[in-house]
Amino acid sequence: MNPMKGLFISFEGTEGSGKSTQVSLLAGRLYSLGYTARVLREPGGTPIGEEIRHTLKHSHANDAMTPETELLLMNASRAQLVREYIRPALARGEIVICDRFYDSTTAYQGYGRGLDLNVVRQIIDLAVGETRPDLTLLLWVPPEVAAERLRSRQATLPFVRDRIEQANREFFERVARGYEKIAAAEPQRIRKIDATGDIETVRQAIWREVEKVLPPRASSNPPAHG
């Protein structure tokens, strides 16, 4: 759990689960209620992290990247994000909303890439220390639904190469099974949200979980975006 006075919420899920949409909706709702929310993403979120994100996902020179390199780069970005933005924001009493955090690494690099889970956890521990989400919202869709949404998104949006999205179906099935195991291991922190419904239904399901952990309402301040 986060030892500081703010609130740390992370969003998790496979590709096509609608995380980014729901992150934006939650931040807007919190702002309308007078909370200060800082929205961040992984990998990335800091100038250094965004450079790492490009290398991991979009660079045309990353085809030979090994799973071990991917694991270390993900956590290098995370270590910077925790120290540059997350911990200071929590110390100020802000609500931090992060689009992915270390559960993604366990699911994608651990279960998906098949790396030793004990090694994955050790590297995550080095990157984050005691900075852990108070609440993790796992947006769940079956792998076949996620695959269809991903195909639809790529067909309607300008194509930007994403090395991770180009993985095969078996990889994403392993990731999905990994998320199920992660959620089962920490039911107090991780709330599984059925994300197969429409955006509003999912938004309300998320809000029911967030309401349970919200601190007393703060004075109105503009939201901070990372």
Rounded Cα distance between 213 and 29, Å, is 15
Tokens coding 84? 């540059």
Mean pLDDT of 216-221: 58
CB 90 within 8 A of CB 130: no
Q: 223: pLDDT confidence band, cut at 50, 70 and 90?
A: very low
| Domains in the chain with CATH codes | 7-218 (3.40.50.300)
Q: What is the pLDDT of residue 156?
A: 65
Checking if the pLDDT of 220 tops 80, the result is: no
Residue 44: phi, psi to the nearest 5? 125, -150
Q: What is the pLDDT of residues 46-82, one digit of tens each?
A: 999 999 999 999 999 999 999 999 999 999 999 999 9
Q: Is 147 exposed, middle or buried (0-12, 13-18, 19+ CB in 10 A)?
A: middle
- SS3 for 147? helix
**The pTM is what?**
0.90
Q: 4: pLDDT confidence band, cut at 50, 70 and 90?
A: low
Q: What is the pLDDT of residues 93-123, one digit of tens each?
A: 999 999 999 999 999 999 999 999 999 999 9
Least confident residue range of 19-23, 91-95, 119-123, 145-149: 145-149
Which residues are CB-neighbours of 159 under 8 A, at least 6 positions away? none
Q: 144: pLDDT confidence band, cut at 50, 70 and 90?
A: confident
For 210, half-sphere exposure in the C-beta direction (CA atoms, 13 angstrom radius) is 26
